[in-house]
Amino acid sequence: MPCDNGPMPTHTVTGATGYTGRYITRLLLERGDHVRTLTGHPDRPNPFGPGVQALPFNFDDPAALAHSLEGTHTLFNTYWVRVSHRNLTHDRAAANLHTLFTAAKAAGVRRIVHISITNADPNSHLSYFRCKALVENALRESGLSHAILRPTLVFGKEDILLNNIAWMLRRFPIFPIPGTGQYQVQPICVEDLATLAVDASEGNDNLELDSVGPDVFTYDEMVKLVRDKTHTKARLLHVPPSLVLLAGSALGLLVRDVVLSRDEIAGLSANLLVSNSTAPAPGRIRFSDWLDDHASHLGRHYASEMARHYR
Ligand SMILES: NC(=O)c1ccc[n+]([C@@H]2O[C@H](COP(=O)([O-])OP(=O)(O)OC[C@H]3O[C@@H](n4cnc5c(N)ncnc54)[C@H](OP(=O)(O)O)[C@@H]3O)[C@@H](O)[C@H]2O)c1
């Protein structure tokens, strides 16, 4: 059964024991709100203790899902799958979110703050970006009060992609860059993204915001920055994207993970991880400042997507 409401609002965060959801939950608890979580791992150790009740997603049981959402002021949705695996494809994840939004409406949830991605596009040939756009449309069409936040790369201590760039820079003499490396990225700190999400729960107006950081780098510049700040010396080698994919697959066999997917390389190379908006970037924390504080730990251990979600 869901927790009792008490005087402060109760919010539901999908993935409060995951990455972005953990930072959102921390901010909500700090201001005295109640939080419950929907997760694929309700039995996983919960860093917030019994105060944050963990309930299963129940995507295949909409009535139970709606029951779990009863009494929720804002549903913060971080649920998504990075890479399609077995029968959990991006299309499946999008269908799950359609079920979640329908259940939220049935449960009387007041607002949804949804984390999407920059340049989500219903016509994209990349299933990640196409299905993210379908989810955004489903939320708009739900009639629910909502905010859609669109981050790019999200950097933070628990991030997988940047951590593993640093991990490779620390271990190998050569770091392969797909193509020219001149495509752009605009990373945002996970703490900034969490603040934007919590702020976006206020009010009723619908909001759509590219949630990007203050710096735009070329991919080359970003990798060089990580290399400098981690005091590593790997040589950056520009190679065809297919070769990076091949190297990633070989490494994936070694670490039993999907290091980088074909779609991720294509999205990166197509400048999809940078905002096209002319509005000022809402993120405040500079990647280089964050690296000054965290580079000594970054990439010390490989961070596995598969271990985090499937093992
Ligand atoms: N991380 C980034 O650099 C980045 C960049 C751009 C956009 N985003 C977007 O930001 C949102 C949050 O990302 P995040 O990195 O913070 O995610 P995360 O914490 O790893 O996962 C968020 C939620 O999705 C669930 N989930 C993730 N992979 C799953 C899988 N393979 N099978 C079943 N459930 C899965 C998690 O389940 P559990 O509760 O069981 O852990 C959790 O509830 C996502 O919508 C993502 O698309 C992230």
Which residue puts its alpha carbon closest to atom 35 of ligand 1?
81
Residue 310: what pLDDT? Answer: 82
Residue 84: what pLDDT? Answer: 86
Q: How far is the CA of 237 from the centre of ligand 1 (A)?
A: 30
Residue 177: what pLDDT? Answer: 98
- Cβ–Cβ under 8 Å, residues 151 and 208: no
Residue 2: what pLDDT? Answer: 47
pLDDT mean values, one per 10 residues, the chain (311 residues):
64 97 98 97 92 96 98 98 91 98 98 98 98 98 98 96 97 97 98 98 96 98 98 98 95 94 95 96 98 98 91 72
The conformation of residue 54, written as its DSSP 8-state character, comes to E
- Cβ–Cβ under 8 Å, residues 114 and 56: no
Region of 15 (left: φ > 0; alpha: ψ -120 to 50; beta: rest) is left
The full set of domain ranges for the chain reads 10-152+188-211, 161-185+215-309
Q: How far is the CA of 153 from the centre of ligand 1 (A)?
A: 12
Q: Smallest Cα–Cα separation from 102: which of 143, 130, 71?
A: 143
Secondary structure element (H or E) that encloses residue 112, with its range: strand 111-115
- Cβ–Cβ under 8 Å, residues 25 and 52: yes
- Cβ–Cβ under 8 Å, residues 50 and 33: no
Question: Distances in Å between the alpha carbon of 307 and those of 18, 148, 160, 311?
Answer: 12, 29, 11, 5
CATH topology of domain 10-152+188-211: Rossmann fold (3.40.50)
Q: How far is the CA of 79 from the centre of ligand 1 (A)?
A: 5
Residue 80: what pLDDT? Answer: 98
> In the structure, which protein residues have their CB atom closer than 6 angstroms to any atom of ligand 1?
14-15, 17-21, 39-41, 78-81, 88, 115, 117, 151-154, 159, 161, 309
Rounded CA-CA distance 235/310 in Å is: 33
Question: Distances in Å between the alpha carbon of 90 and those of 31, 94, 123, 132?
Answer: 34, 6, 14, 8
| Number of neighbouring beta carbons within 10 Å of residue 61 | 14
- Cβ–Cβ under 8 Å, residues 144 and 106: no
Tell the residue number behind the tokens 């979580």, with chain if given: 37
The answer to whether the 10-152+188-211 and 161-185+215-309 domains have the same CATH topology is no
Rounded CA-CA distance 114/127 in Å is: 18
Architecture of domain 161-185+215-309: Alpha-Beta Complex (3.90)
Which residue puts its alpha carbon closest to atom 27 of ligand 1?
81
Q: How far is CA 251 from the centre of its chain?
A: 23
Residue 304: what pLDDT? Answer: 93
Gyration radius from the chain CA atoms = 19
Joined together, the tokens standing for residue 141 give 């069409």
Please provide the size of the chain in residues.
311
Query: What burial class does residue 150 get, using C-beta atoms within 10 Å of its C-beta: 0-12 exposed, 13-18 middle, 19+ buried?
Result: buried
Residue 286: what pLDDT? Answer: 98
The torsion angles phi and psi of 261, rounded to 5 degrees, stand at -95, 165
